[in-house]
Amino acid sequence: MSDGHDTASTRGHWGSRWGFILAAAGSAVGLGNIWKFPYITGENGGGLFVLIYLACIAFVGLPIMLAEIMIGRAAQKQPVGAFRQIEGKDTPWTVVGWFGIVAGFVILSYYIVVAGWSMDFALKSVLNFTEPVEKAATIEAKSFRSTSSDDEMRSYLAQILAKHEARDEINSVRRSVKPSVWEKHAIWQEVLKNNPTRSYSEDPQLAVAIPLAMSKMEEIEGVQQRALTDAMTHYQQMDIQEIADEAEAAKRREVIASKVGAIFGATASDGWTSSFWATLFMMITILIVAGGISRGIERACKVLMPVLICLILVMVIYGVFQPGFEAAMRFVFEPDASKLRPSGVLEALGHAFFTLSLGMGCMLTYGSYQKTKTGIGKTSFMIALLDTVIALLACMMIFPIIFTYGQEPSAGPGLVFISMPLAFAEIGAGGLLLAIIFFVLLVFAALTSAVSLLEVVCSYLIDEQGWPRKKAAVVVGLACLAFGLPSAFAMDSGFLLDSWESGYNKNFFDTMDHLASNWLLPLGGLLIAIYAGWVMPARIRAAEMEDLSPALVTGWLLLIRFVAPALVLVVLAQKIGILNVNELIG
């Protein structure tokens, strides 16, 4: 057992198998489940994306996770030391371990910023920050109602309804041609601004793309016009009192959305506020990691994970009784191939990889604290199952509220920090409690993952350099916080690295996310799969998997040797721009 003073010679271990499962599931369950999975599900049309995601978890995520746990458990070392322990001191495979350590450090540096925003919104919710927003919106909406004519209100509502009704059909039209057609059309529009008389027929590629794009634009305009005509007909048949009530509610919602968006924008663009919350979050993470394996991380996860699940269930139960629950469940679980682009398949695979904490050394490190040599298959399955169930519950928690209160499921990253607060403001008195629960559970989810990311880097210093645990936790935590400060200030107008965005075409925050998500994690996971399937000594592999049936071992070898590497390579090629599956297949 760990007492917070671990060194290389007194290495901590999990106090129980269930403690390991909860800690590993806590590593996997983070902002990726509660924040990212619902919004990418919304962006990719729901049902079919979810099914593909589940398949990716089963056929790629689970086999690689089992491989990571197996390597760590066999070596009883962190990522770099594990490969040295198994393959020898001078093995080049230590580069895989370094990928994990660097990825963990980089991800944690900007992860604490988003976690800090969650803490900020949790406190804002306690102070009922949407109350003045709601009051101002109500006044503005009533003013709109009293100063607008009947026709103006009908036109306002018809435009909102037409936009909503036409969205899926317009997206379908846009997907019916390759992305390069729209890219060439956008370029041509810019050319016309400078030279209105120029003909596209001079360029053979434009000569093909522009007429096609223009015909599709006409088709889109037709869809929009039909939707607007149908919407106007709908409102012409309604009583004026009903129209006035609906127009007032719609204007109120519009004003709340604008003001809540401005509040989040102000938070994200205030480097000092973001830094304050990131620092506080990091201090909590350091305290947990400094406490050791069983007395720090395991004890914290045994509290945080059950509370997290209970809070999610409270929100899900609330959603069950909302008018939008049925529509939300159809959206999440009813497959519709017309709403999913080929790139959505790779998005599902990439997220399955990210959400299980693969390629960043977390599972390998946590696996190294296991003493028992049995149950690796069941343990890995339980971790993946917990992670997946919580991701699906997150959708069942968020989308009923989104559908009930007229928000867009495809709102993107703003789904959590803009759309959900807007919906809570719409709910009224009960929205305050729901907002507090929601953002607290978001903080808890972030904390369980942040702990594992910090532990990956600390474990290297403890195992390889002989540092005491508390020293490693404090030094690494503060170093990561310092490295994360540019991410906290990335959207601040006073950001000192003012040439960064123009030079890299991304702000510092997005640059770090791109580096980790598009390069470090896929490469790390790919190399883990190759090592476990082809290089790891067969005797060690057999010893670690002795509790699995021969059929399961054969199936795992097939997946880890062929299926997982091939699919990860495709994801990597898509992420770094070598491949564009929408262009290739679409």
pLDDT in tens, 512-562: 988 988 889 889 999 999 999 999 999 999 999 988 999 999 999 999 999
- The answer to whether position 110 is within a domain reads yes
Whole-model pTM? 0.91
Residue 493 CB contacts under 8 Å (≥ 6 apart), including other chains:
269
The model's pLDDT over 249-291, given as tens digits with 9 standing for 90+, comes to: 999 989 988 899 899 999 999 999 999 999 999 999 999 999 9
Give the pLDDT confidence of 101-152 residue by residue, as tens digits: 999 999 999 999 999 999 999 999 999 998 898 899 999 999 999 999 999 9
Q: Would you call 149 helix, strand, or coil by DSSP?
A: coil
- DSSP assignment of 44-78, as one string? TTSHHHHHHHHHHIIIIIHHHHHHHHHHHHHHTS-
Per-residue confidence at 1, pLDDT binned at 50, 70, 90? very low
pLDDT in the model for residue 2: 44
Residue 506 belongs to some domain of the structure:
yes
Asked if the model's pLDDT at residue 235 lies above 70, the reply is yes
Q: Does residue 145 fall inside a structural domain?
A: no
Burial of 127 (0-12, 13-18, 19+ CB in 10 A): exposed
Structure confidence by residue, pLDDT tens digits, 551-565: 999 999 999 999 999
Looking at the domain assignment, is residue 315 inside a domain?
yes
* 143 domain residue, yes or no: no
Are 72 and 357 contacting, i.e. CB atoms less than 8 angstroms apart? no
pLDDT tens figures, 83-103: 999 999 899 999 999 999 999
Q: Mean pLDDT, to the nearest integer, of 489-510?
A: 89
Q: Is 165 a domain residue?
A: no
Q: Which of 4-13, 138-147, 150-159, 165-174 has the lowest mean pLDDT?
A: 4-13
Spatial contact of 109 and 480, defined as CB atoms under 8 Å apart: yes
Residues 6+ positions from 406 with CB-CB distance below 8 Å: 250, 253
Distance CA 549, CA 537 (A): 19
User: Which residue range is the domain that position 391 belongs to?
Assistant: 17-131+255-585
Each residue's pLDDT tens digit, 64-79: 999 999 999 999 999 9
Number of domains in the chain: 1
160 in a domain, yes or no? no
Evaluate whether residue 174 is within a structural domain.
Answer: no
Nearest to 112 by CA among 484, 517, 514, 417: 484
Which of 59-63, 205-209, 429-433 ranks highest by mean pLDDT? 59-63
Can you give the pLDDT at residue 478? Answer: 98
Mean pLDDT, the chain, whole residue set: 90
**Percentage of the chain lying above the pLDDT 90 cut:** 64
CATH of the domain at 51: 1.20.1740
Residue 439 near residue 101 (C-beta atoms within 8 A):
no
Tell me what pLDDT residue 534 has.
96
Reported as a single tens digit per residue, the pLDDT across 383-423 is 999 999 999 999 999 989 888 877 778 766 678 888 888 88
